[in-house]
Amino acid sequence: MEANRKLRKRGTPASSGIGIGRAYLVDRRRLKIPKRHISEDQIEDEMVRLHAALESSDRQLDRIKQKLQKRTEGDHHNIIAAYQLILHDEHLVDEAMRLIREDRINAEWALHQTVEHIQGVFDAIEDDYFRERRSDVGFVGERVLRNLLGRELGPVKPPPDAIVVAHDLSPADTAQLHRAAVAGLVTDVGGKTSHTAIIARAHEIPAVIGLEDISTVVETGDLIIVDGSMGEVFINPEARTVAEYRELAHKEAAFGAALLSNRDLPADTADGTPIELLANVDHTDEIQGALNHGAMGVGLFRTEFLFMAGGEDDIPDEDEQYEVFRSVLEMLDGKTATIRTFDLGADKMTQFIGARHHEVNPALGLRSIRLCLTEGVRPLFKSQIRALLRASVHGPVRIMFPMISGVDELRLARAVLDEATEELRADSVPYDPHIKIGIMVEVPSAAMVADLLAPEVDFFSIGTNDLIQYALAVDRVNEHVSYLYQPLHPCMLRLIRNVVEAARAHDISVSICGEMAGDPVVVPVLLALGLRELSMNAVAIPEVKNIIRSCRQGDLEALIDGVTSLGTVSEVRAAVRDYFLSANIEAAKLL
């Protein structure tokens, strides 16, 4: 059978390296609902099945409710209680039972029909609040269906050395994969700066994404080669191809090891401008690896993964977070950690958030700092800030707020910080009163008013992953528009320049922590724009350092004069290529 399905497919290269292994299929798509007619003597069984699924759902919701009640001061456990009311509502239960009995259909189909009917009723109501309730009914229905189908969303557990094949993976799924030591990852959807791709890179899992239909053509057990550098995937290749790729993987590993040898060299340009190279990390267990790659500190610690790691309803409390931050600072041993308050929502969903909001445009919705400033989530936000402040006595730490869009929002976030410091002071809990507070500049409005934000913070960190998404109106996780996702777009250069100039004028530090900071081709442009701190996936540090050590600051200044007046991405790339060629920098071949 394998012999009939030899295929070669091309997608978006998301994480370099070569992985060879057997396919392990993960199905994270919407549920397919089986439709069956049943005989008279099966009616009782189907009703019992539905009853059991309703009971399991009730128990699961109870557990979530108790955890929320225990861990937060707000009243969002009431939302779960409302779900439980839906679960017991006669319109749902009695109607589904009636359909099983009278229409003689299986429990899944009966439940689905009932949920659709109720949602239709809500749709017809001309009131936004009620229309939104349709998603609550949908959420409850989906949970019961998963219980009926035995398809609870548990963790992905592939065998070691597998190639994980999925329609899509959540960032939380991907974060679990490195623990399973998988050999590679391929998906139907996704963009290069989706969090799934970022995490694959952080864990050095070769990955190709945006393959459109890979999850339907591959079967568990197929032999797969993933070439994450070229974006190619081979399904059941010839033995000869496997041998070729094993050889290539061997060479790449040797090349990677050679690069690491520059770890202890300074990241100074050839004419002596020091550049700080920092790591973006999502988990404490990445820190040692980051230091091994030559990171001089952590420029972005994404704390939202603390909320996503432990399963759907596991929210860490203040003490647990304090312990995490303390261990980060201990591992860094005097190097600075910039820790970002949790940035949940959009593609970083947890059940805790997902259960509460259905949004048509999640990237523009109630995510990140906006979510933190809502009444329900504010206590959780404050407890994280308290944990950060308490940890600040163990080493240099900076607190960073994500997705700030302007001065008002910054002040609201700072008000929570002020409350937290006030509380600690009143209780004589020690913290560093000089702790630095900064923001991500990742919303175009913030980049435009950087001069107004700068006096109110200690630092900026430019988040180009989102800044590109919002400024160019290109969904960062949508493979259909990924060709428009262009870090070297003239608009991006102008926005970055604006932010750097505002930071300089107000004498605050500015770094860049989007993925473009780790792109060797882009780095000279960033240096030319005046950036001196770059935070990236740690695996990119050795190569970026090599580029920096070959660049001359004087030449870069000349480069930028030309580049910021160019009109197209290809002209910008051509100017960088000319510079690389004239300076004899090997990376010219990448362009």
Listed in sequence order, the residues at least 6 apart from 268 whose beta carbon sits closer than 8 Å to its beta carbon are 274, 275, 548, 549
Closest CA to 442 of 461, 414, 456: 461
Q: Select the residue interacting with ligand PEP from 95, 188, 466, 533 (CB under 6 A).
A: 466
Task: Give the shortest CB-412-to-ligand PEP separation in angstroms.
Answer: 20
Among the listed residues 76, 167, 195, 283, the single catalytic one is 195
Q: What angle do CA 549, 551, 553 make, to 5 degrees?
A: 115
| Partner from Mg ion, ligand PEP, none binding residue 464, C-beta < 5-8 Å depending on class | ligand PEP
Listed in sequence order, the residues at least 6 apart from 187 whose beta carbon sits closer than 8 Å to its beta carbon are 165, 166, 167, 168, 169, 196, 207, 209, 210, 211, 214, 215
Number of residues in contact with ligand PEP, rule: CB under 6 A? Answer: 10
Q: Clarify whether 434 is annotated catalytic.
A: no
Closest CA to 409 of 350, 369, 464: 369
| Partner from Mg ion, ligand PEP, none binding residue 514, C-beta < 5-8 Å depending on class | ligand PEP
Q: How far apart, in whole angstroms, are the C-alpha atoms of residue 207 and residue 231?
A: 8
Strands of the sheet containing 207-209, edge to edge, are: 7-10, 232-235, 223-227, 18-26, 163-166, 184-187, 207-209, 12-15
Residue with tokens 């304090």: 322
Is residue 313 within the footprint of ligand PEP (CB under 6 A)? no
Is residue 465 within the footprint of ligand PEP (CB under 6 A)? yes
Task: Give the shortest CB-171-to-Mg ion separation in angstroms.
Answer: 12
By the 8 A CB rule, do 176 and 156 touch?
yes
Q: Select the residue interacting with ligand PEP from 15, 350, 464, 511 (CB under 6 A).
A: 464
- Which token pair is 116? 């659709």
Q: How far apart, in whole angstroms, are the C-alpha atoms of residue 576 and residue 588?
A: 8
Which residue's Cβ lies closest to ligand PEP? 463
Task: Give the shortest CB-500-to-Mg ion separation in angstroms.
Answer: 18
The separation between CA 220 and the C-alpha centre of its own chain, rounded to angstroms, equals 26
CB closer to ligand PEP out of 188 and 343: 343
Is residue 492 within the footprint of ligand PEP (CB under 6 A)? no
Binding site residues, Mg ion, CB under 5 A:
442, 463, 466
Task: Give the shortest CB-589-to-ligand PEP separation in angstroms.
Answer: 27
| Partner from Mg ion, ligand PEP, none binding residue 173, C-beta < 5-8 Å depending on class | none
Cβ atoms within 10 Å of 77's Cβ, excluding its own: 18
Q: Clarify whether 513 is annotated catalytic.
A: yes
Task: Give the shortest CB-466-to-Mg ion separation in angstroms.
Answer: 4
* Cβ-based burial of 364 (10 A; exposed 0-12, middle 13-18, buried ≥19): exposed
Identify which range of 30-38, 349-357, 462-470, 526-534 contacts ligand PEP by CB under 6 A: 462-470
Listed in sequence order, the residues at least 6 apart from 98 whose beta carbon sits closer than 8 Å to its beta carbon are none
Q: By CB under 6 A, what part of segment 329-388 binds ligand PEP?
A: 343
Q: By CB under 6 A, what part of segment 241-300 binds ligand PEP?
A: 300
Closest CA to 330 of 394, 243, 379: 394
Is residue 11 within the footprint of ligand PEP (CB under 6 A)? no
By the 8 A CB rule, do 464 and 516 touch?
yes
Listed in sequence order, the residues at least 6 apart from 24 whose beta carbon sits closer than 8 Å to its beta carbon are 158, 159, 162, 163, 164, 165, 182, 220
Is residue 302 within the footprint of ligand PEP (CB under 6 A)? yes
Is residue 174 within the footprint of ligand PEP (CB under 6 A)? no
Which residue's Cβ lies closest to Mg ion? 466
Q: By CB under 6 A, what part of segment 496-515 binds ligand PEP?
A: 513-514
CB closer to Mg ion out of 95 and 466: 466
CB closer to ligand PEP out of 191 and 237: 191
Q: How far apart, in whole angstroms, are the C-alpha atoms of residue 69 and residue 75?
A: 8
| Partner from Mg ion, ligand PEP, none binding residue 318, C-beta < 5-8 Å depending on class | none
Identify which range of 93-101, 210-218, 387-395, 464-472 contacts ligand PEP by CB under 6 A: 464-472
| Partner from ligand PEP, Mg ion, none binding residue 13, C-beta < 5-8 Å depending on class | none
| Partner from ligand PEP, Mg ion, none binding residue 474, C-beta < 5-8 Å depending on class | none
Which residues, in sequence order, are bridge partners of residue 184?
163
Identify which range of 81-89, 288-296, 393-401, 457-465 contacts ligand PEP by CB under 6 A: 457-465
For residue 421, give Cα distances in angstroms to 390, 402, 497.
9, 19, 34
CB closer to ligand PEP out of 65 and 201: 201
The footprint of ligand PEP (CB under 6 A) covers 300, 302, 343, 442, 463-466, 513-514
Q: Please identify every residue annotated as catalytic.
A: 195, 513
